[in-house]
Structure 1
Amino acid sequence: MKTLPSPHSLPPRILIVEDDAGMRTLVQRALQGEGYRVRGVESGDEMWDALANATVDLIILDVMLPAVSGIELCRALRAGYGKSHEGEAPLRQTPIIMLSARGGEGDRVLGLEIGADDYVAKPFSQKELLARVRAVLRRGQTQMAREGSRRERLRFSGWTLDLRRRELLDPSGAAIEISGAEHDLLISFLDNPQRVIARDRLLELSRTRLGDASDRSIDVLVSRLRRKLGDDADKLIRTVRGTGYFFVSEVERL
Structure 2
Amino acid sequence: MSRLNILVVEDEDAIRGMLMMVLEQAGFKSIAAVDAEDAQKALNDISPDLILLDWMLPGISGVEWARRLKKEPVYRDLPIILLTARGEEEDKVRGLEIGADDYITKPFSPKELVARVRAVLRRSGKIQGLAQIALGDLVLDTEQHRLSIGDKQLEVSPTEFRLMQFFMTHPDKVYSRTQLLDQVWGRSVYIEERTIDVHIRRLRKILGEHGREDLVQTVRGFGYRFSLME
Percent identity over paired residues: 38
Matching of residues 98-247 of structure 1 within 5 Å: 98-141=82-125, 197-198=159-160, 201-202=162-163, 204=165, 209-212=169-172, 215-216=174-175, 219-220=178-179, 222=181, 236-238=190-192, 239-240=194-195, 242-244=197-199
Output the CA distance in 2 between the equivalents of 1:203 and 1:78: 28
In 1, are the aligned partners of 2:55 and 2:84 still within 8 Å (CA)?
Answer: yes
Paired residue for 1:95? 79
Shift of 1:203: 6.4
Contact between 1:61 and 1:96, CA under 8 Å: does it hold in 2?
yes
Uncovered stretches (5+) of structure 1, i.e. residues with no partner: 1-5, 81-87, 146-194, 246-254
**Corresponding residue of 2:68:** 76
Change (3 A) 1:204 1:77: farther
Q: Which amino acid aligns with 2:106?
A: K
State the structure with bigger RCO (CA 8 A, min sep 6), 1 or 2: 1
Aligned partner of 1:22 in structure 2 is 14
- The CA distance in 2 between the partners of 1:237 and 1:21, in whole Å, is 45
Q: How does 1:37-76 map to 2 (within 5 A)?
A: 37-76=29-68
> How far 1:99 sits from its partner (Å)?
0.2
Alpha-carbon shift at residue 220 of structure 1 (Å): 2.7
In 1: Cα distance, 2:21 partner to 2:66 partner: 24
Deviations 1:95-139 (A, max 9, x none): 111000112322222111111111100011111101111111122
The CA deviation string for residues 189-219 of structure 1, in whole angstroms up to 9 with x for no partner, is: xxxxxx9934x7246369x95342x601563
- TM-score, normalization: structure 1? 0.58
Give me the whole-angstrom Cα distance separating, in 1, the residues matched to 2:81 and 2:96. 10
Task: Specify every segment of 5 or more residues in structure 2 that has no aligned partner in the other structure, as ranges.
Answer: 130-156, 201-230
Assess if the C-alpha contact under 8 Å between 1:103 and 1:120 holds in 2: no
Aligned-partner Cα distance in 1 for 2:171–2:166: 16
- Count the aligned residue pairs: 171
- Alignment deviations for residues 159-213 of structure 1 (CA, whole Å, 9 cap, x no partner): xxxxxxxxxxxxxxxxxxxxxxxxxxxxxxxxxxxx9934x7246369x95342x
Distance 1:220 1:112 in 2: 8
Deviation at 1:241, TM superposition (A): 5.6
2: CA distance, partners of 1:217 / 1:241: 10
In 2, Cα distance between equivalents of 1:124 and 1:11: 24
